[in-house]
Amino acid sequence: MRRFFVEQPLAVGDEAELGRELAHRLGRVLRLEPGAQFILVNGSDQEFEARLSVLTDRSAVATIVGQQQALAAAKTKLVLYQSLIKAARFEWILEKATELGVASIIPLTSERSVVRAEGEGTARWHRWQRIVVEAAEQCGRSEAPALGSGMALAEAVETAPGLRLFSWEEAGGLGLGESLQAEPYPPDAVSLFVGPEGGFTPDEAALAAGLGAKVVSLGRRILRAETAAIVSITIAMETLGELGSGKATGARIAPR
């Protein structure tokens, strides 16, 4: 059943006014008609079954006919700091990172970035926002990831929450998963830093280490930027117990 995000309280029996943009998607894009059923989610721990009762070019109304527990978010907040890369590849990262369960995505400006940062409110930023919302609807999430505006590397590393893992192809020592396993307890948040085409520079890796981030490896192979992003998220989610069984146990991080 199709899912759509709304920003309003919902309860069984309510007549929910869905607004012009969603009315356009329902009628013009999806060709739904009154009587069609779908799921509405509003960022709460519940999701709501709705039946379309009124649909015009400018508005839509749905009756809330049921509710159930929504899919829980990952216990550890995973934040992806993704260096800006070519548009189509960056948008692919937005979609797949959302499907994998990241809590936030922050576009990052680094030395080898070939794309300029986009602040909130720009046309491109709104396009990115639509991509993460539609990906969250498709994959069954109860809320879309927060999408930040562009940040410079130094500021991002300084302000990133939780355990900061900086992926660099020339890193020695521990890999990303091993660094997570070395933590005494599952962290409340993990911030993943992924470079652009060409990767981070040695100076950027030194900067990140100097600011307290752990510089980690993703293995012996050189990965494309978009591949590195998805590998980083997947390793982190698997290590934290968020993939595989469907139960977030954190069992792979042994307490000391």
In order, the DSSP letters of 203-221 are: HHHHHHHHTTPEEEB--SS
Q: What is the CATH number of domain 77-239?
A: 3.40.1280.10
For 30-73, write each residue's pLDDT tens digit. 899 999 999 999 888 889 999 999 998 888 999 999 999 888 78
Contacts of 88 (CB under 8 A, 6+ apart): none
Residue 50 has phi, psi (to 5 degrees) of: -130, 150
Residue the block writes with tokens 């520079």: 201
Confidence class for position 101, pLDDT limits 50, 70, 90: very high
pLDDT of residue 178 exceeding 70, the answer is: yes
Distance CA 45, CA 120 (A): 27
Residue with token string 């993990």: 190
pLDDT surpassing 50 at residue 255 = no
Res. 21 pLDDT band, cuts 50 70 90 = confident
Please provide the average confidence, as pLDDT, over all residues in the chain.
Answer: 88
Pair 103, 146: CB distance under 8 Å: yes
The CA distance from 53 to 238, in Å, is 42
Alpha-carbon distance values, 103 to 13, 74, 189, 199, 200 (Å):
31, 8, 9, 24, 23
Domain ranges of the chain: 3-69, 77-239
* Cα gap 142→135, rounded to integer Å: 11
Strands 60-69 and 15-17: antiparallel
Question: What is residue 250's predicted lDDT score, i.e. its pLDDT?
Answer: 40
Q: Which residue has the tokens 């396009």?
A: 127
Q: Give phi and psi for 154, each to the nearest 5.
A: -60, -45
What is the average pLDDT across 9-27?
A: 90
Q: What is the CA angle 145-151-155, rounded to 5? A: 115
Residue range 122-172, pLDDT digits in tens = 888 899 999 999 999 998 888 899 999 889 999 999 999 999 999 998 887
Q: Tell me if residue 249 falls in helix, strand or coil.
A: coil
pTM of this prediction? 0.85
195 and 168 Cβ atoms separated by less than 8 Å: yes
Q: By percentage, how much of the chain surpasses pLDDT 90?
A: 58
Distance CA 40, CA 50 (A): 7
Domain 3-69 fold is Ribosomal Protein L25; Chain P (2.40.240)
What percent of the chain lies above the pLDDT cut of 70?
95
Q: How far apart are CA 230 and CA 216, in angstroms?
A: 15
The average pLDDT across 82-88 equals 93
* Cα separations in angstroms, 252 against 52, 178, 242: 44, 10, 10
* 245 confidence band (pLDDT: 50, 70, 90): low
